[in-house]
Amino acid sequence: MNINFRNETFRDDYTFRNSPETIRRFPFPFHEDKYMYSVNMEPHVPAGPAGHAYNNPIDVDEHYVAEMRDRALVLKEDPLRYQALPHMMAAQWDTLELLMESQAAAYPEHFSLTKDGDRWHWVNRPLGIDQTFTFGDASTLPMEPLEFITRQAQGDFCIVDQRDGNLWMDAGMVTTQADWSLDFDVGMNFFEWHGPVPLAHEIGVFERALKFLLNLQQGKPVRRLNWTMTINPRLDTSPENYHKWGPDRATVTPENVGDKVHLRCELQSLWRLPRSNAILFVIRCYLIKMEELVTIPKWGRRFHRVLRDLPPELIDYKGLTRYRPATVEWLSKFDDGKPTTPGIYPD
């Protein structure tokens, strides 16, 4: 499958768009007409109609090259977005192996990996990278293995160490986040880094999720979808830069909702790593404009209902307060009140 990589931006002039095919493969995060937190995890196995974001374990799409360019820009401004505590080196190699093998297996036209014992040869054609290195010897790569490979893979990546019956955020590459700081959260345990999330602690979501994840098995990754909303297709909605993107939230008008307001979906996948016994937590961000979303009638109806009926705590936590009314009003034109089919896929 040859992907036609778009030349686009996620800042300044915001030329990001989804092609009609990419709209149809969007991992729409609502399986019913309402939303509340849950431990909505399922096996991360290939699923969905042909071309869907669930087809491959590590998804590469038409935004790949532009997203990697945006990541490089973020890192230039703020190197603290990449961090790895010293005891995480084995897990870094685990991650490099997983991402190289997954991308090469699913997209052989674009990536290839050949191994001669510990001597590995990696070719990334879209980004023009050709690297021979010794697996396990960090001095044979131009940077740490986790940084090297996550500059070539879409999504944010956190590696969590498992000890004392808890999970610890001990390494990561985070440049496309929904308003949380890796620099601040590095070294925290599962409950601590989720500390700011409202309601979910009280209904026991995190206890159950942690119990589940501590037993995650190698070769059996799991996934869940999470979501928020972003004004303009900006990948870097970090707290570090909140004072730069925050004002965008006040720019939504009834006329520009369709173009400016984006549903931001996170396809989160979790993988037990073989050498380190750590867990790789992939947080892959997908953006879709309201005017793109409503081209799928089921999604237009459903998202209108979800957003209209959202609990107040979630409206506040997700930062939707200013522009939710205008967005609900705009979406209402696409909701004829008809019932929707179960599940996340287009009809």
Catalytic residue numbers read: 224
Work out the widest C-alpha separation in the chain, in whole angstroms: 61
CB of 98 to other proteins, least distance (A): 26
CB of 184 to other proteins, least distance (A): 5
Where do contacts with other proteins occur on this chain (CB under 8 A)?
80, 181, 183-188, 191-196, 201, 239-243, 246-247, 249-250, 322
CB of 250 to other proteins, least distance (A): 5
Distance of CA 281 to the CA centre of its chain: 10
Could you identify the residue written with the tokens 């705590």? 313
Name the CA dihedral angle for 289, 294, 300, 304, rounded to a multiple of 10 degrees.
50
- Amino acid type, 240: E
- Sequence length of the chain is 347
Six token digits for residue 7: 């030349």
CB 82 within 8 A of CB 147: yes
- Kindly tell me which of 22 and 228 has the beta carbon lying closer to other proteins: 228
- Kindly tell me which of 169 and 257 has the beta carbon lying closer to other proteins: 169
Q: By three-state DSSP, how is residue 146 classified?
A: helix
Could you identify the residue written with the tokens 């995890």? 41
Task: Give CA–CA dist 81/75, Å, rounded.
Answer: 6
CB of 94 to other proteins, least distance (A): 23
